C-alpha cells in the first residue's frame, strides 16, 4: 500500500506521528483457515502508528549517544598489521 513512514495528521492538520504499518486484505483464494481469513478481512485497512513523543524520545537518545561518542577521547590507534611474508 505504500503508507509506511507517511504522516499521521490530527483534526487540525498537525502531524502527530508516522504510519508504521497497514493491514492488507487477505487474498480471496488463500489456503488459510476460514477464521483467519475472516479476521484479516475484518481488520484490513487498519493501521499502527508511532506517536511523535516516541520518535522524539528515540532521536534524543540517539543524539545523546552520538555526542557522547564524539566527546570521548579517540581510541589509540593499533599498530599497522604487517603480514609475516612482508616483514624484514
Q: Is residue 56 part of a domain?
A: yes
Domains: count for the chain: 1
**In this structure, what C-alpha cell is assigned to residue 84?**
609475516
pLDDT computed for residue 19 by the predictor? 94
**What is the four-CA torsion angle of 49, 53, 55, 57, rounded to 10 degrees?**
-150
List the one residue out of 18, 25, 14 whose CA is nearest residue 3: 18
Q: Is residue 23 part of a domain?
A: yes
Boundaries of domain holding 52:
7-72
pLDDT digits (tens, 9 = 90+) for 23-64: 988 988 778 888 999 999 999 999 999 999 999 999 999 998
Q: Is residue 2 part of a domain?
A: no
Amino acid at each position: 500500500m505504500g503508507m509506511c513512514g507517511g504522516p499521521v495528521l490530527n483534526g487540525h492538520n498537525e502531524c502527530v506521528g508516522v504510519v508504521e504499518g497497514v493491514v492488507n486484505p487477505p487474498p480471496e483464494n488463500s489456503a488459510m483457515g476460514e477464521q483467519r481469513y475472516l479476521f484479516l478481512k475484518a481488520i484490513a485497512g487498519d493501521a499502527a502508528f508511532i506517536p511523535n513523543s516516541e520518535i522524539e524520545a528515540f532521536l534524543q537518545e540517539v543524539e545523546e549517544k552520538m555526542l557522547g561518542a564524539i566527546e570521548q577521547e579517540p581510541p589509540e590507534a593499533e599498530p599497522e598489521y604487517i603480514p609475516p611474508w612482508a616483514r624484514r
